[in-house]
Amino acid sequence: MQREYLKKATLTSRSDASDVTRTVQGILDNIEAGGDAKALEYAAKFDNYEGDILLSADQIAAAAAAVPEKLKRDIEFAHENVRKFAEAQKQTLRDIEVEIVPGLIAGQKSIPVNAAGCYVPGGRYSHIASAIMTVTTAKVAGCNHIVACSPPRPGVGINPAIIYAAHICGADKILAMGGVQGVAAMTFGLFGLPKANILVGPGNQFVAEAKRILFGRVGIDMIAGPTDSLILADATADPMIVATDLVGQAEHGYNSPVWLVTDDRALAEEVMRLVPTLIDDLPEVNRENATAAWRDYAEVIVCPDRETMAATSDEYAPEHLTVMAADLDWWLDRLSCYGSLFLGEETTVAFGDKASGTNHVLPTSGAASYTGGLSVHKYMKIVTWQRATPEGARPVAEATARIARLEGMEGHARTADIRLRKFFPGENFDLSADA
């Protein structure tokens, strides 16, 4: 594939992978053995917090009172948008039944999991939007019990806006606990909580590793790495908007890749000129992240045509994909590997991150090549059922008996035999493997 790198990453999202497995496994083992008391020990150690773990109704009300009215309206606006989209997604799931052969009916049924654990980051940034994204979708799915878990700050507790968002979105309990200990508390059903059936939400490398280790015992949305974003832009794009969007995503973290793929060299060069200035203009904490991400992880790629641009994007399978190019319908039809797609300069990744309605919990590190992001569907079990009349069972039983014997599974075959003898007494069936 012909493409030119005007800027090549010196590191990738996997370059910084630390061996945290042993640490996380040890914490999980200790908490599972020691229960509530051990989880509280880790909360005191890592969160530097010894306040109430489960928030009371009065504490939730006090937190709500501390949130400015304008911010409340913004949270409610975002919640309503996410709820509407989640409800529309749920409508795509329907129970079905079909007659496979005469007399044999098979069906599909969608059942929400009972208990969902929603992790809401609250360290460097207070991820109010993550509370909205995870709790709202669980509520719309129909989960019977939803826990929102977020790390408290020393002497302060959970950010009041996170508490307010989790509460209005439908959390049944709010847990002031972060990191591995928070994930463990939801998984093991500590502090009187039901054991979570699924864990969702972003988190740091320790949270991600805890979810990876626990997967199988509980469901998870995905194993997330550093957030990443790619912009596809042609000569019609505004270089200032392109550069601003790249910087906006680079501020997530020092190891958050951002990529520009274009067929216009002049645009690429102008964006590369603008980005450092825009980074320098950020507040210091954001500037540090964006500087490192742009320096070490960013790439700028020039392609000969839009087909090569699209193929490059699909190869990278970005978490966030923005298109600022002519003929947006062509791009929508052509592109196939992304977590969420943003078409045109009228929308941007930050809209999806915060308030537009689509979910911001998305696949990273190329996982968009095989999976989508968090949705109502992640909380649903798609199960099947069947029933039959004796006549409907007859051809299935005959085929089952012969296939099972060919496989050497005589016990399976006999479960078919006994039904044929009961339903059709006196008839002879040739059920040998070589019949």
**pLDDT score for 124:** 67
Residues in CB range of 111: below 8 A, 6 or more apart: 380, 381, 383
Percentage, residues of the chain above pLDDT 90: 92
Please indicate whether residue 319 is annotated as part of the active site. Answer: yes
- CA pair distance 125, 117, nearest whole angstrom: 20
Q: Which amino acid, 95? A: D
Average pLDDT over the chain reads 95
pLDDT for the residue numbered 435? 57
Q: Cβ–Cβ contacts within 10 Å for residue 332, how many?
A: 11
| Options 79, 167, 252, 320, the catalytic residue | 320
DSSP β-ladder status, 104-112 and 198-200: unpaired
pLDDT for the residue numbered 357:
96
Encoded amino acid at 333, one letter? D
Q: Which of 233, 203, 206, 205 is nearest to 221 (CA)?
A: 203
Closest CA to 234 of 271, 279, 209, 208: 271
pLDDT on residue 25: 96
- Paired tokens of 434: 């070589």
Alpha carbon of residue 363 to chain centroid? 6
H/E element, 179: helix 179-188
Q: Which residues of the chain have pLDDT under 70?
A: 1, 13-18, 123-125, 435
Do 101 and 396 meet the contact criterion of CB atoms below 8 Å apart? yes
Catalytic residue among 79, 145, 167, 319: 319
Q: CA separation (Å) from 214 to 20, 21, 125?
A: 14, 12, 25
CB distance 246 to 275 below 8 Å? yes
pLDDT of residue 18: 63
User: Would you list the DSSP string of 280-318?
Assistant: HTS-HHHHHHHHHHHHHT-EEEE-SSHHHHHHHHHHH--
Catalytic residue check, 320: yes
